[in-house]
A and B are shown apart, each in its own frame.
Chain A
Amino acid sequence: MQVEITLSGGEPHTVELVRRGAAAVVTVDGRCYDAALATGGPEPSRLTVDTVTEPVWTAVDGDTVWVHAFGRAWELSVLDPRRRALGGAVSDDVSTAPMPGTTIAVAVRGGQAVGAGERLVVIESMKMQSEIVAMRDGVVDQVFVDVGDTFERGAPLVGLVPLSDDEPAAS
């Protein structure tokens, strides 16, 4: 089985893994490494890659693996390309919250045509207001928030009517 592992902000790596007891052979972008992750109770785990050993802390949350190593925390995503193909790609159809906050104003309603860059909602976070704008031309399908609603980062705010592949992006 192959997965894509991406370090936050970086390029995806193609990774395969075959375990043999406590150790494993991990193939990253076509190169094989002897590797092991020995968990140590209250101590950090010990990562071994070929002959190099490094203390690491890990925490798994679904497709996200958090790693503390080299003096800081890192966020990595582990994606099964087959599952991604089934789930459908994230597109410009839905505008999501860039940070947690509160809805201050909603500028559009269902069925309304909008142009790329047009204001959809105004949100407030850290006492700062910012505008969420349409990523493309389209027609509003659904508004997920009302004025006063609070939301977490990544929450859907406004959805546009999905475009079919052969349909030009025009309102």
Chain B
Amino acid sequence: MSLPAKVLVANRGEIAVRIIRTLRELGIASVAVYHALDADGPAVRAADEAIELTGETPVGAYLQIDQIVAAAVGTGAEAIHPGFGFLSENPAMAEAVTAAGVTWIGPPPGAMRAMGDKLTSKRLAAEAGVPILPGSDGAVADADAAVAAAERTGYPVLVKASAGGGGKGFGDGRVFVERFVQRPRHIEVQVLADGHGTVLHLGERECSIQRRYQKVIEECPSPFVDEQMRAAMGETAVALARAVGYRSAGTVEMIADQRGDFYFLEMNTRLQVEHPVTELVTGIDIVAEQIRVAAGERLTISQADVTLRGHAIECRVYAEDADAGFYPATGRLALVRFPVGDGIRVDAGVLEGGEVSSSFDPMIAKVCAHGATRSEAIARERAALRDTVLLGVTTNTAFLERVLATPEFGRGETHTGFIDEHADALIQTPTPAASELALVVTAALASPAFDRRWTVPEPLASIGPWIS
């Protein structure tokens, strides 16, 4: 089988740029789709061709299945890569793409449907031998049934929406009861499957550092997982992928309790935001594997070929005020400089001069660092965050660096409540007086308030500020 000659990327921002990079490396032409707000964005610049989408809202434009499929057909793209978010987990999109004679770079719609519903996926996981948390048997009918299920399960329990994610529900009333795990770690297994019966895993990522139920720092491998636990988690993830006839890249999310027992959370049937840390540690280009598998090729690696080398950390740089409740920030990025150096990888979705608006997700870039050891990766990631220059919009880089600097993070004592638990230690410390003076002097020298035409000739200037 041969790879497609041209691929349409149905996404925007950093992930569109990242997919286009691999397409270029594989010698495949790329087509970007974009909403007018992104017309000057990095994805349009990186792609060989670009087709505009329209929608009632900017986000809505990227959800227009008909327009995107028509763009692929019109430009002669042989395949569509959906990235993550938007239409990536929509089985109807996968079906529409396939019906138009275009290859879907993703899993079969049946696997997407099975894993898209938390109740169905939990049942399938249990059947495949993945440990699941005790709780209600399917959805609960009413409050009384929920209380009864909670009493059978044993408190504390969580009541979860069957269709939801990232702390958000999606207009589906069904809820279920599940045991609540104290101080859980979020650990997930990356799987890869081809259409010829090979299913393998690329080890785990730990994504316990979250704010507002969304991941902000991820690492590979997890400091908590040893070889035995990795093998056990990997085997169950592979078994589940096999059971649902999975193909392409996917992620089985689990939570681990403090004893090291792990339980199924959900399966994400798409490329994951934090896939770079796995790529850095395994040396495998996950997007390239997705493209090959979609083209019908066999995976060229076996489980024995997958080795984890060193340690990688990813920080998600968001336009937000971490010191004021993580409120999203907007504005124009007047100056942008990303770090470079040994082991540093930056996947960015912004250009200098670009506008960060409230129309899209506020993630600006993923700054990643790879090191021989976890402590080297942390040191490199901290330096990279300090060298990430984004002026004009408030970002969370300083906050992320404070998280990495805590002794608890350094010891790998992470859990999903980490940011709340260490809130006091993560508060911005008062600026030293000498630094504040330097900043005030810099602002004075840079500001147009002191017009340069008012330059005073020597020797009068040395006398000091005699003009007011």
Contacts and interface: CB of A to CB of B under 8 A. Distances in A.
Interface of A: 1-3, 5, 7, 10, 13, 15-21, 24-28, 32-33, 35-37, 47, 49, 52, 54, 56-61, 63, 65-76, 78, 80, 98-101, 125-127, 150, 152-153
Nearest to A102: B358
A18 B456 contact: yes
B168 interface: yes
Main SS class of interface, A? strand
A51 B37 CA distance: 47
Given A19-B455, A52-B438, A59-B335, 8 more contacts: A1-B467, A18-B456, A18-B464, A19-B452, A28-B444, A33-B437, A63-B449, A66-B392
B441 A125 contact: no
B440 A58 contact: no
A57 B337 contact: yes
Contacts of B441: 26, 28, 33, 35, 47, 49
A76 B337 CA distance: 20
B329 A20 contact: no
Contact of B398 (A60, A73, A76): A73
Contacts of A56: 438, 442
B258 to A, nearest CB: 30
A7 B439 contact: yes
A72 B398 CA distance: 6
B328 interface: yes
A59 B274 CA distance: 31
A161 to B, nearest CB: 29
Contacts of A27: 464-465
Contacts of A78: 443-444, 447, 449
Contact of A126 (B212, B446, B464, B465): B212
Contact of B397 (A1, A15, A37, A72): A72
Interface string B419-456: 00000000000010001111111111111111010111
Interface residues of B, number: 55
Given A28-B441, A37-B442, A71 B386 contact: yes
B390 interface: yes
Q: Which of A36, A49, A59 has the most CB of B within 10 A?
A: A59
Given A66-B392, A70-B435, A73-B391, A100 B330 contact: yes
A47 B446 CA distance: 10
B461 A125 contact: no
B303 interface: no
Given A37-B445, A47-B442, A68 B437 contact: no
Contacts of B212: 126
A153 B385 CA distance: 26
16 contacts: A7-B440, A17-B444, A20-B455, A25-B464, A26-B444, A47-B442, A49-B437, A52-B438, A65-B442, A69-B435, A73-B394, A74-B439, A75-B394, A99-B329, A101-B358, A126-B327
Given A7-B440, A28-B437, A73-B397, A18 B467 contact: yes
B129 to A, nearest CB: 35
Interface in B358-372: 358
Given A1-B450, A18-B465, A19-B455, A71 B442 contact: no
Contacts of A10: 431, 436
B215 interface: no
B462 A20 contact: yes
A125 B358 contact: yes
B334 interface: yes
Contacts of B438: 47, 49, 52, 54, 56, 69
